[in-house]
Amino acid sequence: MFLSIVVPCMNEEDIIPTLLDRLSAAIAPWQDAAEIVLVDDGSSDGTWEAIQDARLFCPNLVGVRLSANRGHQIALTAGLEAAQGERIMMLDADLQDPPELLGDMMRMMDQGYDVVYGRRIERQGESLFKRATAHLFYRLLNALSDVPIPHDTGDFRLVNRKTLDAVLAMPERARFVRGMFAWAGFRQIGIEYSRAPRETGETKYPFRAMLRFAIDAMTSFSTKPLKLATRLAFASLGITALMAIYVAYSLILYQTAPGWASVVLAIGFFSGVQLLTLGIMGEYIGRLYTEAKNRPLYFVSEESREPPKPAVRKS
Ligand code: UDP
Ligand code: MG
């Protein structure tokens, strides 16, 4: 097997035929040595049935069905573990990442690169809010993280077996796949593209999921937020000192100190600071806890491969 295409899918039944059309066209030059791995991430619609139907006209299709919804990054990991190719491309099911870029990515890899990642220079059909928060997220993440994570890259990339095996050897549960590839190193290069609007269906990343994703990314790639507590402590000591000076002044000048309003404000401010630092610590402790439990990332409930043969799985 030379080429694997890995696509995580949650409730994407409507798009699977179009997706496979576009993917089949893109992999045509490597037709006999290519596979398409679709991971059904615990969908509640007919995604798995759509994958089974598609096997009739798409012989190199591999279906992996997870036992429950595990989220985009884990579904992607499951697909990467099932992939057998020497080169592996990953993309979203909604065709926001154009599969037609595969040819260019392959040529760049031929020049000796281990990873060719897509960089979105434009995002069509996404709300101003999503674009603004994404923009902010990549900049904040880079300010925090010790490894540079390329701005505006998603999970759309072509990687070779060496790099993939390195990333799959990382056992962490909180998976921020694009950061893990950045951390792995090797020779990487970006290719710019403009991100299309979602073909059909709705985004599977509501604000809550986006926030989770961002917190996962930052806590996986930086411990700087933990050190924020120390800085906040110094800052609040500084502010208290200024207040003390002010109170001393007014005692001397007016023989009276200002009353309850400033007390309430100060209590509010300092309890805010304390809760914030507690919350940050809680995020890391929660992560330690899930890592320590060391549960498997996912379970595969069904796997379909053509021609039928016992599934060979590396782990
Ligand atoms: N996805 C998934 N499991 C989830 C959420 C999303 O497998 O719990 C898949 C989804 O089917 C899609 C990809 O992850 O292929 C990216 O999701 P989406 O396009 O909704 O995110 P957006 O592009 O809006 O950020
Ligand atoms: Mg999308």
Q: What is the ipTM of this complex?
A: 0.93
The atom of ligand 1 lying closest to the CA of 9 is 11
Q: Which residues of the chain have pLDDT under 70?
A: 258, 260-261, 307-315
pTM of the model: 0.80
Q: Which residue, judged by its Cα, is nearest atom 8 of ligand 1?
A: 71
Long-range contacts of 270-273 (CB under 8 A, 24+ apart): 270/236, 273/232, 273/233, 273/236
User: Quick one: tokens of 212?
Assistant: 């989770």
Query: Is the distance from the beta carbon of residue 305 to the nearest atom of ligand 1 less than 6 Å?
Result: no
pLDDT tens column, 46-100 = 999 999 988 888 888 999 999 999 999 999 999 999 999 999 999 999 988 999 9
C-alpha pair distances (Å), 244 with each of 142, 151, 247, 276: 38, 44, 5, 24
Query: Is the distance from the beta carbon of residue 204 to the nearest atom of ligand 1 less than 6 Å?
Result: yes
pLDDT of residue 261: 66
Query: Is the distance from the beta carbon of residue 94 to the nearest atom of ligand 1 less than 6 Å?
Result: yes
Length of the chain: 315
User: Quick one: tokens of 146?
Assistant: 């010790």
Query: Is the distance from the beta carbon of residue 69 to the nearest atom of ligand 1 less than 6 Å?
Result: yes
Query: Is the distance from the beta carbon of residue 175 to the nearest atom of ligand 1 less than 6 Å?
Result: no
- Distance, first Cα to last Cα, the chain: 18
The sign of the dihedral angle between the CA atoms of 134, 135, 141, 142 is positive
Ligand nearest to the CA of 210: 1
Q: Tell whether omega for the bond before 307 is within 30 degrees of 0, i.e. cis.
A: yes
Query: What's the gap in Å between 200 CA and the centre of ligand 2?
Result: 10
Q: Which residues have CB under 8 Å from 315's CB, separation 6+? A: 81, 168
Q: Which residue, judged by its Cα, is nearest atom 22 of ligand 1?
A: 203
Q: Which letter, b or e, does each residue of 108-124 get, where b requires 16 or more Cβ atoms within 10 Å of its Cβ?
A: bbeeebbbbbbbbeebe
pLDDT of residue 207: 82
Count of CA atoms in the C-beta half-sphere (13 A) of 7: 30
pLDDT of residue 307: 61
pLDDT of residue 315: 57
Query: What's the gap in Å between 41 CA and the centre of ligand 1?
Result: 10
Determine the residue of 11, 72, 126, 135 to mutate for testing ligand 1's pocket, defined as the one with the most ligand atoms within 8 A of the Cβ atom: 72
Determine the residue of 19, 48, 51, 94 to mutate for testing ligand 1's pocket, defined as the one with the most ligand atoms within 8 A of the Cβ atom: 94
pLDDT of residue 314: 58
pLDDT of residue 258: 67
